[in-house]
Structure formats: structure tokens, C-alpha cells
Amino acid sequence: MTQRIDENHHASNKALAFEESEPTQAELFDTLDITKDGSDKDDESIESLHDTQDSYIYGDADATDQDTIETMTVYDPDADRLEDIEQSGDNETIVCYAYSRKTGEPIEPLAIEDVSRALTNNNQFIWLGLYDPSLETVQEVQDAFDLHELALEDAFADHQRPKVESYGNDTIFVVVRTAKLEDNQIRYGTTAIFMGKNFIISVRRGASNSYSPVREHCHRRPEKLRLGPIFVLHAILDFIVDNYLPITDRLGNYLREQERNIFSHEFSKSTLKSLYELKSQLVHMRAVILPVQDVCNFFINHKKNELISAFPAAAKPYFRDVNDHLLRSIDAVNGLNEMLSVAMDTYMAMVTMGQNDVVRKLAAWAGIAAVPTAVAGIYGMNFEFMPELQIKYAYFVVVGAVLAVCLFLYAKFRKAGWL
């Protein structure tokens, strides 16, 4: 199993090159800056945090253990501002906390090697967040949480379809696709979530917004964390789903821009290419969003799973709320897809009409030119006896008749809209 994870992990690293590095968790917390009353220091810090760009590509296959740097910040239980224990390498980020089931408050930050001890305490649960973890970290997490090897392998498989699976009554495994806008391009990533009775693990790979706002949101609502890991799962899913809407809005704006180009009568291959590219993006976006509905329905309707039944029933409405947000994105994508189909049909119809206009003009001028051509052809024949050639004003009569017929045809074609 270790070898298979190694191959998958390093294959994804070699497939793509890094564009930008993941900001450290300490930088994200500094950006957010929580005051003593638990409120945000200023609204701009939240916006800055949401605008922080994460790396779309997965990692550097040449990174070594010597490149790993561990930074530790001391947790003071009397301090109002929360500090993370952060273990990070080139792009790896690890954030782990233990939370009280009674109060929902964070008890202490944990290192992975301390997880096994904390799991034995049923009065708390653990939330571990990983971004682009190294192979060594994956092995430590597998050993500490006793995760199923197939679920762990799926967590690191590229282009995984969103799904939810149960491994006995101990662990639920969820995979969802993330999406974000980078340089006017839609980038996709994957988030795998492992949830047990006393723990929840999120493994984030590829393009996605940082989950630091999710953790800060939960820290400000400890009464909700009393529901256990299932509320954290809801918060992560809600954050992912809410990030779909800005992308669908951007696609809608782009479609409206292309519609204006369609009716500008400036037909070009670039317009058609843009429409087909948008169609491809909508198909991909729909494939990312639609299966998440099955994930939500699993937690809303599933009654036979003992692990879900062990959590408070009050958690179900939160997943219905996520599903409602998801339906907005699905409806938006479906609506854009229909509008795009109409736009493409309209564009092709207008191109055909434009071609028909050209054909009509050519036919009209050909009809007008046929009159003098026919007359010239008749009188160009080399016959000795052509009676009308002997008439004094025959030339002027024929030329006048040709001009009259041509003008008549021109007027008719003009009136018909062919010219």
C-alpha cells in the first residue's frame, strides 16, 4: 500500500509544476487577526484572506526531508486569540486541534504524534487539516487514525469523482471537487474528508481557497462544535459549495458578453471558439457540482449508518442548508447551459443568414449581368445576314433596351432586399 501511495503522490507531483506556494497558516491567522471579543479586527482582513491565492499544482517531486521546516507556537489556554501548531514544508500545511465535546471550545493544538493519545479521550474530538501532505505525513496519519488503505488511496487519486463511502461503522469517507478562479481561469482541486466518531480529517489538494476561514468561523461558534465532527464536515462542505456561485456568476457574465458579440454582426471563428470553450467549462463544472448533491443527501436521509446515528439529529438541517445552496449552483449551471445552447443555435442561424445574404446578392448581380451577356452573345455571332444590323439606330435601341431591363431588375432586387 505504501508503494502505491508513493507512486500516486509522486506521479501527481511530476505531472505539474508549481505556480505559487501555499501561504503558511501563521500568515493566514495574521491576516485574519482575531480580537479579544472574537470579532474580526476589520472587514478588509477577511477579504484579504479570501483573496489569498492557493497553489493549483500539487508539489515538487524533488523536495527532500531537509527542506522541511517545523515551526511551533505555544498555545496559551488563557489567551483569547487562537494560535496554531503549524508544521509546514515547501507546500505542506498541517493544522490540528482538539475540541471539547461539552463546550465546543478548542482545548489544545496537537502534533500528529500526539493524536493517538488524544483519540482515547471520548470527551473531545480532533480536527486535522492537511494541505498537500507529504508521503511521510500520510503514513503518520494512517497509523494514528487507523484509516482504511483504499480510502487513503482514493484521497490521493487524481480526478476523483465526488462521492461518499462508509467503511464499517467507524469511518465515513467523502470526496468533493473544489473550484476557484485564477487569472480568469477555472482551476479545480480535490478535498478528501475522513470522519469518525472522535475525529475529522480534511486533505486538500490542488486549487481551492484556504480553509482557515472555516476554522475561524467554527471557533467563533463553539456552541455548534458541540455537535461534534459532523458540524465541521458541514462547515467545510458549505464553504466549498459557496465558492461555486462566484464562478457560475463569472461564467454568466462571460456568456452575456458573448451574446452581445453575436448580435454585433461581426461573425468570426473566435466567437464560435469562445462559445465552445464556455460549453466545455459548463460541462466540467456540472460534473464537479452535481455529484455533491448525493453527498448531502447521504447525510440528510441515511438512517442505517451507526456513525451518523451517533451524532445529534440537530446536525441534519445544516446539510439541508448546504443542499439548498448547492441547488442554486446547479440551477445556475443548468440555466447557463440552456442559454448557451440557444446562443450557439442563434449564432449558427445568423451565420447561415449571413451566408444566404451573400448568395442572394451574388444571384441578383448574376441575373442583372445575364441580360447584357445574352444580348452581346447573340450579336457576337459571326453570321453574314442579321437583318437588324442594317437598321440605322439598331445599336442605340439594343443598348437602351439592355439598360432598361438591367435597371428594372436592379429595382426589383433592391425592393426584395437582395441588394
Q: Phi and psi for 75 in degrees, rounded to 5?
A: -90, 125
- Of the candidates 254, 271, 92, 261, the residue with the CA atom closest to the CA atom of residue 186: 254
pLDDT at 57 over 70: no
pLDDT of residue 21: 37
User: If DSSP codes are grouped into helix, strand and coil, which group holds residue 379?
Assistant: helix
pLDDT in tens, 372-416: 999 888 888 877 777 777 788 888 888 999 999 999 999 999 998
Instruction: Write the CB contacts of 258 (distance below 8 Å, at least 6 apart in sequence).
Output: 271, 274, 275, 278, 343
pLDDT in tens, 214-263: 999 899 888 988 888 999 999 999 999 999 999 999 999 888 888 887 77
pLDDT of residue 265: 61
Share of the chain above pLDDT 70, in %: 76
Q: Is the separation of the CB atoms in 13 and 133 below 8 Å? A: no
pLDDT of residue 333: 93
Instruction: Write the CB contacts of 104 (distance below 8 Å, at least 6 apart in sequence).
Output: 221, 222, 223, 224, 225, 226
Q: How many CB atoms lie within 10 A of CB 224?
A: 18
Higher pLDDT, 318 or 155: 318
pLDDT of residue 263: 76
Q: Is the separation of the CB atoms in 35 and 41 below 8 Å? A: yes
Whole-Å CA distances, 65 to 95, 135, 136, 139: 19, 11, 9, 15
Provide the β-strand partners of residue 181: 186
Cell of 102: 461539552
Domains recognised in the chain with CATH numbers: 1-226 (3.30.460.20), 354-416 (1.20.58)
CA distance 238 to 329: 12
pLDDT in tens, 169-187: 788 999 999 998 887 788 8
Q: Across 3-7, 68-72, 185-189, 271-275, which has the greatest mean pLDDT?
A: 185-189
CA distance 153 to 63: 21
Cell of 298: 447521504
pTM: 0.65
